[in-house]
């Protein structure tokens, strides 16, 4: 038996036990979060509860100091808290705006100036309500009135006009609800908050889906259940295409390039394997292996993989070139989950870097909430070989779920310590 086959068999046998731990952690909130959720439910009593929809039928803290990289360019940035309430997901996108400049001369046409602004839409964890914020405006606008308590994971459509919500039903099953934002212009008075809100209308897809991910390039989704993988479009979630069957039941998924990335569940005690999956033909191609605790993130043109792996006293981070089959190290170490590739430059990425990551049994202890970090934020340009610290991170953040705006002017992230949502201005 080859080493690789032995790894796969071992992972297959033990992965269900690991997933059970992850299941409890992911879909069970902490004591503080339970209190927050309960308070919010009490305040929202009797308001816009979950609509009747036909389902589809199918069957410890470590914060010691480490010197930052010395060859960095420092720039001034601005930090803003978008939501102090816990969020379960968000999307950053640009929206066009029109300004009409009127002229008193009746024979002259009004001038229309078309501009764009960066928008953040997010889902409040305790209620499932969608909110919207302009990154240059301190005001936050509530968009929807459909209340679905305790949303543990959410993926928004690219334009913010739809969402995939994940939560537990009373029996403990994982429900996945795919919905569009529908303008109903229904005036609602909620504890003195009067306004016109939209509704969420959609359908359920099969329950107990282990993992799901959204394409960075479109509103297509991919999910795994019981070793089978399916794709569907946000506009027609009932039309699903099966593209893979696997003997490995649990995968970590990401879809930031034309290919879907499947990685065995990262753990410091097992060597991981990463594959690319063609969402059209279903072909599977191994791209990286033999690294314990392996976690990977592809750039948008699927030429580079940012990866992290477990070492004896922490994490090692690097970039793997899929064409030359070579790796290059970085001057800092962090988890791949704390990074994001730029949307327009395949050689640029951003990473939240812990001040100290010399901790055993990573990433397991971080996933389980046994360890948290205090991060700095860096921009890496591989083509120009530069690392720039984004100054302005003045709070103690354990950053995750990073997203970068279309123009690269803003990095938006969730603070894992309390699930609050923040934006950092990267402009000098």
pLDDT in tens, the chain (428 residues): 444 444 444 444 444 444 444 443 445 444 444 444 443 333 333 333 333 333 333 332 233 333 344 344 444 348 999 999 999 999 999 987 766 766 666 666 766 677 789 999 999 999 999 999 998 888 899 999 999 999 999 999 999 999 999 999 999 999 999 999 998 654 444 433 446 899 999 999 999 999 999 999 899 999 999 999 999 999 999 999 999 999 888 899 999 889 999 999 999 999 999 999 999 888 999 999 999 999 999 999 999 999 999 998 889 999 999 999 999 999 999 999 999 999 999 999 999 999 988 888 999 999 999 999 999 999 999 999 999 999 899 899 999 999 999 999 999 999 999 999 999 999 86
Catalogue all structural domains in the chain, each as residue range(s) with its CATH number: 3-98+111-425 (2.130.10.10)
Give the integer Cα–Cα distance in Å for 201 and 43. Answer: 23
Q: How far is CA 67 from CA 70, 177, 355, 389, in A?
A: 8, 45, 8, 12
pTM, two decimals, is 0.79
What phi, psi does 91 have (nearest 5°)? Answer: -140, 140
Confidence at residue 112, expressed as pLDDT on a 0 to 100 scale: 67
- Tell me the pLDDT tens digit for each residue of 300-314: 999 999 999 999 888
Q: How far apart are the first and last CA of the chain?
A: 57
Distance CA 261, CA 294 (A): 12
For 172, counting Cβ atoms within 10 Å of its Cβ (0-12 exposed, 13-18 middle, 19+ buried), the class is exposed
Q: What is the CA radius of gyration of the chain?
A: 22
Nearest to 83 by CA among 40, 45, 48: 40
pLDDT of residue 281: 84
pLDDT of 380 reads: 97
**pLDDT for res 102:** 66
Burial profile 102-132: b = 16 or more Cβ within 10 angstroms, e = fewer: eeeeeeeeeeeeeeeebbbbbbbbbbbbbbb
Q: So what's the pLDDT on residue 75?
A: 41
179/166 Cα distance (integer angstroms) = 11
CB half-sphere exposure, 325, CA atoms < 13 A: 3
């Amino acid at each position: 038996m080859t080493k690789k086959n032995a790894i796969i068999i071992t992972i297959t046998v033990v992965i269900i036990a690991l997933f059970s731990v992850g299941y409890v952690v992911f879909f069970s909130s902490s004591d503080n979060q339970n209190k927050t959720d309960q308070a919010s439910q009490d305040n929202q009593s009797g308001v816009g509860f979950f609509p009747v929809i036909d389902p589809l039928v199918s069957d410890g803290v470590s914060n010691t100091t480490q010197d930052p990289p010395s060859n960095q360019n420092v720039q001034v940035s601005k930090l803003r808290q978008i939501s102090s309430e816990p969020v379960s997901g968000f999307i950053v996108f640009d929206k066009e705006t029109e300004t009409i400049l009127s002229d008193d001369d009746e024979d002259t046409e009004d001038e229309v100036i078309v501009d764009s602004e960066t928008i953040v839409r997010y889902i409040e964890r305790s209620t499932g309500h969608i909110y919207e914020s302009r990154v240059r405006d301190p005001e936050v606008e509530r968009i929807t009135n459909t209340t679905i308590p305790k949303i543990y994971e959410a993926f928004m459509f690219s334009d913010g006009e739809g969402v995939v919500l994940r939560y537990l039903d009373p029996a403990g099953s994982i429900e996945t609800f795919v919905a569009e934002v529908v303008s109903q212009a229904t005036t609602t008075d909620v504890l003195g908050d009067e306004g016109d809100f939209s509704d969420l209308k959609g359908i359920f897809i099969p329950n107990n889906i282990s993992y799901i991910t959204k394409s960075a390039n479109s509103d297509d989704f991919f999910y795994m259940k019981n070793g089978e993988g399916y794709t569907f479009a946000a506009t027609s979630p009932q039309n699903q295409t099966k593209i893979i069957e696997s003997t490995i039941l649990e995968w970590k998924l990401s879809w930031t390039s034309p290919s879907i990335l499947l990685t065995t569940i990262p753990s410091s005690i097992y060597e991981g394997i990463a594959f690319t999956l063609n969402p059209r033909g279903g072909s599977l191609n191994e791209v990286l292996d033999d690294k314990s605790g392996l976690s990977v993130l592809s750039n948008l043109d699927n030429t580079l993989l940012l990866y992290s792996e477990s070492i004896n006293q922490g994490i090692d981070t690097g970039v793997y070139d899929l064409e030359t089959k070579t790796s290059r190290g970085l001057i800092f170490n962090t988890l791949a989950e704390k990074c994001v590739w730029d949307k327009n430059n395949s050689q640029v990425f951003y990473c939240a870097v812990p001040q100290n990551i010399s901790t055993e049994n990573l990433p397991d202890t971080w996933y389980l909430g046994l360890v948290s970090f205090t991060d700095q934020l860096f921009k890496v340009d591989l083509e120009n070989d530069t690392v720039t610290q984004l100054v302005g991170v003045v709070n103690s953040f354990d950053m995750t779920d990073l997203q970068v705006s279309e123009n690269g002017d803003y990095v938006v992230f969730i603070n894992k310590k309390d699930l609050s949502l923040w934006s950092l201005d990267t402009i000098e």
